């Protein structure tokens, strides 16, 4: 036994074929008989040969590395996106190179520059905020395949994969109205958020569709913190006791709303007639929604599928330089539980 690294010549010798034949089998190019391919693959397994992907990429003038820029890698939403993206890319022999930008434009630009310097074959990114794509002209000038994954629709300059926020809010609001609710509030998110604007559009249009008034004082801004959401909902209910249902912008807002409703001496549930319970619906389902009491109803888009679709779009771009930007909008699903 030696520690000598096995090379392609060793594989050719073991299989009794030429180095060229081994190369063609490994790259899946050329006309090679099934018998010859099996001999080469057996030799590869027996010798433990590992293909030098970097050298192969250099010869083919392509990269097996794909960059992924996330605002916050601890965000469960984007962790699911990354998982779906990785599934698709690994099937095609690519590997993810992860970077975290935070909400800083300079840091985002640095991440993009670093990935470009590493020779990535494409970049998937989320905007630094929900207000749109940063420095889009600079990104497109890179000449690198790009896909934006975001919680809100962006411009037409790059491929986009994301949810249908307006339809999500329409589904949630219509569901509540058909359950008998007429006083429906919206809590969470900030005014500069595109995803919030899209959901508010769906919420307002559905109220109007059913002849219900829109009350600006029932639309409350607050950040993701459950503590902040609990306080905001508690105050909202105390000032407006006629409210019977709440749409919650973040999943964490929905959890905070449960505590806030309890603080206001009300309970969460479907009985808005006799028990005067307040219904709660959140967006972007999480596993914990089934554990809390009562379990939380959500309108949700399959987040991992967003990542998978982003992977397919990127691979399509890599394979066709003439590919024009496309938008892939995934449909939401209403997941009914005990809270509404």
Tell me the per-residue pLDDT of 299-340, one tens digit each, with 9 for 90 and over: 999 999 999 999 999 999 888 766 688 899 999 999 999 999
> What tokens appear for 302 in the block?
């399959």
Considering the chain, what is the average pLDDT of its residues?
88
Q: Kindly give the pairing relationship between strand 245-248 and strand 333-335.
A: unpaired
Listed in sequence order, the residues at least 6 apart from 239 whose beta carbon sits closer than 8 Å to its beta carbon are none
Helix or strand (DSSP H, E) at 237: helix 226-239
0.85 surpassed by pTM: no
Same domain, 214 and 268: yes
**Residue 142 pLDDT greater than 80, yes or no:** no
Q: 56 lies in a domain? A: no
Q: 94 lies in a domain? A: yes
**Residue 134 pLDDT greater than 50, yes or no:** yes
pLDDT of residue 102: 87
| Coil, helix or strand at residue 232 | helix
More confident residue, 20 or 57: 20
State pLDDT tens for residues 54-108: 455 444 446 789 999 998 888 888 899 999 999 999 988 898 999 999 888 888 8
Count of domains for the chain: 3
Q: 327 lies in a domain? A: yes
SS3 of the chain: helix, strand, coil, percent, to 5: 45, 15, 40
Listed in sequence order, the residues at least 6 apart from 213 whose beta carbon sits closer than 8 Å to its beta carbon are 207
State pLDDT tens for residues 234-248: 999 999 999 999 999
Same domain, 170 and 226: yes
Q: 57 lies in a domain? A: no
pLDDT of residue 318: 87
Residue pair 338/269 in contact (Cβ under 8 Å)? The answer is: yes
Same domain, 195 and 159: no
pLDDT of residue 4: 64
> What tokens appear for 129 in the block?
């905020």
Same domain, 13 and 83: no
Q: Which whole number is the average pLDDT over 9-36? A: 84
Q: Kindly give the pairing relationship between strand 159-163 and strand 184-187.
A: unpaired
Q: How far is CA 62 from CA 52, 58, 248, 314, in A?
A: 14, 6, 45, 14
pLDDT of residue 295: 97
Burial 104-120 (b: 16+ CB within 10 A, else e): eeebbbebbeebeeebb
Quickly count helices (H) and strands (E) in the chain: 12, 12
**Residue 1 pLDDT greater than 70, yes or no:** no
Q: 339 lies in a domain? A: no
Residue 28 lies in domain: 8-51
Task: Give the CATH number, domain containing residue 173.
Answer: 3.40.50.2300
**Residue 39 pLDDT greater than 80, yes or no:** yes
On the CB side of 291, CA atoms within 13 Å amount to: 4
State pLDDT tens for residues 182-211: 999 999 999 988 899 999 999 999 999 999
């Amino acid at each position: 036994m030696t520690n000598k690294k096995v090379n392609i010549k060793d594989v050719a010798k073991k299989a009794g074929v030429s180095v060229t034949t081994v190369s063609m089998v490994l790259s899946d190019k050329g006309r090679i008989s099934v018998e010859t391919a099996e001999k080469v693959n057996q030799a590869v397994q027996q010798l433990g040969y590992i293909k030098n992907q970097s050298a192969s990429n250099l010869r083919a003038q392509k990269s097996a590395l794909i960059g992924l820029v996330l605002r916050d890698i601890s965000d469960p939403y984007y962790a699911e996106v990354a998982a779906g993206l990785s599934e698709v890319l690994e099937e095609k022999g690519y590997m993810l190179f992860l970077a975290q930008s935070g909400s800083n434009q300079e840091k985002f630009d640095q991440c993009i520059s670093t990935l470009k310097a590493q020779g990535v074959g494409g970049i998937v990114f989320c905007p630094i905020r929900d207000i749109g794509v940063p420095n889009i002209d600079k990104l497109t000038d890179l000449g690198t395949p790009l896909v934006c994954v975001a919680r809100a629709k962006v411009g037409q300059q790059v491929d986009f994969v994301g949810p249908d926020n307006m339809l999500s809010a329409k589904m949630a609001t219509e569901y509540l109205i058909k359950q008998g609710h007429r006083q429906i509030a919206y809590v969470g998110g900030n005014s500069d958020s595109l995803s919030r604007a899209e959901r508010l559009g769906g919420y307002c249009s559905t109220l109007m569709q059913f002849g219900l008034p829109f009350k600006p004082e029932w639309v409350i801004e607050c950040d993701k913190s459950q503590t902040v959401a609990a306080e905001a909902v508690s105050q909202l209910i105390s000032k407006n006791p006629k409210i019977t249902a709440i749409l919650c912008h973040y999943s964490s807002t929905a959890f905070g709303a449960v505590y806030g409703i309890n603080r206001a001496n009300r309970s969460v549930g479907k009985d808005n007639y006799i028990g005067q319970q307040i219904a709660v619906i959140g967006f972007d389902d999480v596993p914990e929604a089934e554990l809390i009491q009562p379990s939380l109803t959500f309108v949700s888009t399959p987040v991992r599928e967003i990542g998978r679709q982003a992977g397919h779009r990127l691979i399509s771009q890599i394979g066709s330089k003439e590919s024009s930007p496309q938008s892939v909008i995934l449909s939401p699903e209403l997941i009914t539980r005990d809270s509404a």
